[in-house]
Structure 1
């Protein structure tokens, strides 16, 4: 395994991002052409491409910052974080997102190029299926890039030497390539995954439906894009089934869940995980800074990159199962004993902080504290951006709690989370289809899909939607269902709601842009580092660099 990974780095040269910094070093006398000469070696190239999903899906700032659901942790002030606040960019804020997506493309191109060279040595069914998988993975990365940056270099074969003259292909060209790749992938992939974690038809159909739906909003849309998006999403949805919320995220968690269309796989064996899933570290404040807090169970490490917005917390009906204490924690408990807490002795498991759904009066807070000693703070919803002993406090999104994590680990180094990261699942397919129905003028069909998810969340009666759904209804339900999963930035950009929703619901955006956010920010800057390496690359208007 180590040898093959070394070869992949050598032959691919990490297109665009690291080509000028790498030197080719052959650790043995065997050339890459000689090594990659069997079906087993080809399979390793494909497996290495899948491994490229892990760093990409942990690079979440471009998926979530600057939206209505996520903001940075802390008190709203004049400090700036451009991806979230739409303030002044230096030009390299998006370098890691650019790098991780192009690395995935590079690995896919390498595997396809090398596979074609030894096609006669690979079983025909294996070659067809793996090619479909690689095309789907490449299309996924290009979709991320084209929606983030607009025009981007389009590379569809292995690059074996340092190259410095890349130019940007138009959005329209990139979309055409993505659609072609996914159409071919669907024709070659099996209806169901060959093994858990591999791409199959449902994955490629989900992605193609999302791509066509997105293109249907563009000036270069094709007339059949919306209708084709509907039929493709319907086909994907028919290949999966709704699960229970507990099986997806709760104590009844099932790795091979039939609702999950595509996921980044992790293992219960840390030796196989290398850097494990880090989602369980997200959406928590610094619980260890309060009496009874510690870097131990159940909270372990808190990666405080994100604070959910008040909009998100206000979305749920009182009895929505997705916002029950198991998945959205309002009672924060002590992780250790403390003999001299401010309100008396604290024992592990005692409730030390309470964050009610509805605002409590001072008298109600006093009554609650007296009845629930040793409660330290009661934090009302309008106080989530206020300091409490140099920290902010807000409900913890407990959706990604991983009971298999039993040690404190470093963020991004050895997080050791074992549960999979869902890339696509049926619930998102349903919301994409609902959006397409609304766009077609069939809002009643969208209402039915929304209510299917609400019923799964144990909602009934007045908590079900009536009439014809709107885009706002779809986006709100998507927020409830897919928090911490889907690319919210792309969803809002696609629907033309990014600038207004960010300004309305993201406290930092509202602070810096009380009127409106400039449409410049519908794209992110081409990394200045890449422009310096490739003189033929140009920058998006309004950002640093040529």
Structure 2
């Protein structure tokens, strides 16, 4: 891509003034594309060769010395300043780069350079490598260019230019306009895919595969097959526990239930086999769970009886609010719960003659005092198998996956295995607000930072006229106990919202004030003190998770390592136990090294915040005279620690 951009820019320089004026917008696009390519490369490798002249054919040698990040960012920022000036404010062509997208990108570049400036004299090599130069006006410029985009867009909706409903960003529809989702004005720039498949693959793969990454929903006895309604079970987009827990009020922050696919319905009867009611589960359902208007069930009957029936539900509860395992097993669907407790003294007894303690647990299934009951981590509601963590590839494929990229128009709307139709967002206005909020906060202007953050929170709230997910109201433990507040009138089917929930989730500044309840819920890594910055990246994750930019953002902010070690049990080394407020899960039954052992299971090191240069690339490199690099020169070129 970089070479093609250089070819265009060289040819553009030879045009007449009149032709240059005609092609000015295209020059802006090319400057953006080259800058974006270098941005991705430098996020991956750090300092890279800076190539501004085109090459054709085989070069005489492979002499590609690295430039410094300071040199690179000077070029990138200058190019993007020009791009912002010459790009159009709007376009009639879906996917064209416009001024708001370019201004957002430029604001991000200024912010990233300001972030790296604090590491100029760091003794930690991987942090020092983030230094990209210093300019006292970087934060002001980040605010300036973010404001360019925000000013243009903010009056388009009642939510500062954001789509009124967060879920509408991810709602895929069939019908006369399959591009409706891609035209939401909040989306400033997207990578283009389209439902006819005519043009997909012109410059590479016809799919990004993100629309296929979903939990393996097909091998439960739940009659959920591989259909258009759900992604293919590639099972590689599972979240860490913190990816769920970061939504500190999922009853009132709608992004949780609009981001995650919490429940499935039957799509293919008999797929995976049938789960039948047992005498015990039928008794518990009929006597403790069934609604007054629901039919009774009998032992031997299938749980799944018709298409469109609720089939699988995921509940991500906290360790202090485990659910009774018999209540979970007796639901009329497969319920997969993070934390459950077993029977008192290991034995529920006989159906029809349960002890008062057992019956109390079935009537009030959130067990606050487990007593002699054993605590279990991630036991599925189908066959009682462990799932998640390191139990094996099949079990690791079960998790509550993203709703964001479900693509019912893929494969021309008929092939569940087909190429994608949805565009992939590169920049949207919500991120512009986050960029500006961080810049304000780093300057100490908390009032404006909070105002920008609350633009997102106002949209994130449930609004009057919306409906909450039934799973939230009927099965979310924190709602059942009253820990999370849903007005009583809104707990009745169809769970219509009457009062906007913004006041319950608005940012106040307590979130980064040590000692407050809101502070504790943010789960900051131990031994850090940049709480505002840490909060910004919590909010970025709540807003942008699964949008393919979280890693690079944490990397550039210099906090990737500490966040993985503190929050990702599968990435963190065995020396980590999580954080004080959110320790890694430890249950009462895991033995050996597998399962919920309470310690990290990974090998993440600081060097992994940068990627290594591939050995094949290093072997191609030469010095200026064309001589192959010796081992010492290759080692000097390679990134720290590799």
Superposition RMSD in Å: 2.7
TM-score (norm. length: structure 1): 0.73
Structure 1 partner of 2:168: 247
In 2 relative to 1, CA 334–185 (structure 1 residues): closer, same or farther, beyond 3 Å?
A: same
Quick check: 1:149–1:525 contact (8 Å CA) kept in 2?
yes
Match of 1:172 among 67, 70, 95: 70
Whole-angstrom distance in 2 between the partners of 1:207 and 1:362: 44
* Alpha-carbon separation, structure 2, partners of 1:362 and 1:276: 40
Within 2, Cα distance between the matches of 1:315 and 1:261? Answer: 26
2:324 to 364, 388, 394: 364
Q: Is the 8 A contact 1:266 1:277 kept in 2?
A: no
Unaligned runs of 5+ in 2: 121-132, 154-160, 174-179, 277-300, 340-376, 379-387, 462-500, 513-531, 578-602, 624-633
1:539 is the counterpart of 2:637: yes
Match of 2:308 in 1: 349
What does residue 379 of structure 1 align with?
Answer: 337
Structure 2 CA distance for partners of 1:409 and 1:531, relative to 1, 3 Å: farther
Q: Which residue of the partner structure matches residue 186 of structure 2?
A: 259
Pairing partner for 1:226 from 139, 152, 160: 139
Q: CA deviation at 1:114?
A: 3.3
What is the match of residue 238 of structure 1? 151
Higher relative contact order (CA 8 A, sep 6+): 1
Contact 1:151 1:169 in 2 (8 A): yes
CA distance in 1, matches of 2:194, 2:507: 39
Contact persistence 2:389–2:570 (CA under 8 A): no
1:523 to 2:610 alignment: yes
The reply to whether residue 441 of structure 1 matches residue 354 of structure 2 is no
Contact 2:252 2:504 in 1 (8 A): no
How far apart are the structure 1 equivalents of 2:225 and 2:113? 48
Give the total of aligned pairs: 432
Residue 30 of structure 2 is aligned with which of 134, 149, 156?
A: 134
Pick aligned residue for 1:309 from 240, 243, 264: 240
User: For the structure 1 residues 417 and 512, does the alpha-carbon distance in structure 2 shift closer, same or farther, using more than 3 Å as the test?
Assistant: farther
CA separation in 2, counterparts of 1:330 and 1:450?
A: 26
Where do 1:267-282 residues align within 5 Å? 267-274=194-201, 275-282=206-213
Q: Does 1:399 align with 2:404?
A: yes
Equivalent-residue separation in structure 1 for 2:458 and 2:190 (angstroms): 25
Distance across 1 between alignment mates of 2:425 and 2:407? 14
Aligned to 1:480: 542
- Tell me what 2:429 maps to: 426
Cα deviation for residue 443 of structure 1 reads 2.0
**Among residues 241, 263, 266, which one is paired with 1:331 in the alignment?**
263
Could you tell me how far apart the structure 1 residues matched to 2:639 and 2:195 are? 46
2:564 to 480, 494, 502: 502
TM-score, structure 2 as length reference: 0.63
C-alpha contact 1:525 1:539 (8 A) present in aligned 2: no
Unaligned runs of 5+ in 1: 1-103
* Aligned-pair CA distance for 1:363: 6.8
Question: How far apart are residue 436 of structure 1 and its match?
Answer: 0.8
Greater helix fraction, Structure 1 or Structure 2: 1
Quick one: distance in 2 between partners of 1:495 and 1:151?
Answer: 16
- Note closer, same or farther for the CA distance 1:113–1:409 as it changes in structure 2 (3 Å cut): farther
Secondary structure at the residue paired with 1:254?
helix
Q: CA deviation at 1:543?
A: 4.8
Local SS of the residue matching 1:329? coil
Deviation of residue 124 (structure 1)? 3.5
Kept in 2, the 8 Å contact 1:194–1:200? The answer is no
TM-aligned CA deviation for residue 529 of structure 1: 1.5
* Contact 2:259-2:404 within 8 A present in 1 as well: yes
SS of the residue aligned with 2:570? helix
Q: 1:455 to 1:166 in 2, by over 3 A?
A: same
**In the aligned structure 1, how far is the partner of 2:393 from the partner of 2:564?**
28
Deviation, 1:277, is 4.8
Call closer, same or farther: CA 1:227–1:334 in 2, change over 3 Å.
same
CA distances 1:165-194 after superposition (whole Å, capped 9, x unpaired): 111111111111101111121222122236
SS in 2 for 1:423: strand
Q: For the pair shown, which has the larger CA radius of gyration, 1 or 2?
A: 2
Deviates more, 1:400-409 or 1:128-137: 400-409
Q: Shift in Å at residue 110 of structure 1?
A: 2.2
Q: Which residue of 2 aligns with 1:461?
A: 503
Cα–Cα, structure 1 residues 160 and 251, in superposed 2: closer, same or farther, change >3 Å?
closer
- SS in structure 2 opposite 1:272? coil
Aligned to 2:526: none
Between the aligned partners of 1:138 and 1:540, the Cα distance in structure 2 is: 24
Note the C-alpha offset of 1:385: 2.3
Bigger Cα displacement from structure 2, 264-273 vs 497-506: 264-273
Confirm or deny: 8 A CA contact 1:226 1:436 kept in the other structure: yes
Q: Offset of 1:389 from its aligned partner?
A: 9.5
